[in-house]
Amino acid sequence: KFGSVHSAPVEEEQDFNGISVIMNGENTNYKNIKDALENERIDILYPKTLPNNIEVNKITFYKKSNLDKLSYSFSDPDLYFTISFNTLITDSAKEDSTETLKVNSVVCYIYQMDDINSAQVRFEYNGDTYMLNYTNKEVLIEIIKNLEEINNEN
């Protein structure tokens, strides 16, 4: 459906500045995430800006039976961001959140996981579930506030 979006391997970083999309065996390079998502017609929220010099290293699309999922990989390995398509957060998961926050009319469910020094934020947008994990809750909230939508017309 979407394919895989990723940056060059570490040993090639000095020669490559952008995003590479691999779909159906074809490799296409783009100068940034927005161009890659627009041209590949992947209609999701993406981080317009990231704090603490964090960069997106890779975007991968997974298809397992009836679950489609997109995962971002970042230069900071403690940051994790996935999108599960056509999946909603269960009521029990909503109830288990430690707090909620409304960002741009979207209710975000926040989970503080002190035992592993991590926080998680989940929210629903256009019928999909977005989930972010990181060691710093404030950074997660900052990322969510900087998510932007690509409006593709089919």
Average pLDDT for 109-122: 92
pLDDT tens for each residue of 6-49: 433 333 333 345 666 555 455 677 777 788 788 877 788 888 88
Longest dimension (CA), the chain: 48
**Amino acid symbol at 94:** K
Question: Helix, strand or coil for residue 131?
Answer: strand
Q: What is the pLDDT of residue 7?
A: 38
pTM equals 0.78
**Residue labelled with tokens 């599960």:** 84
8 A C-beta contact, residue 106 and residue 123: yes
**Amino acid symbol at 141:** I
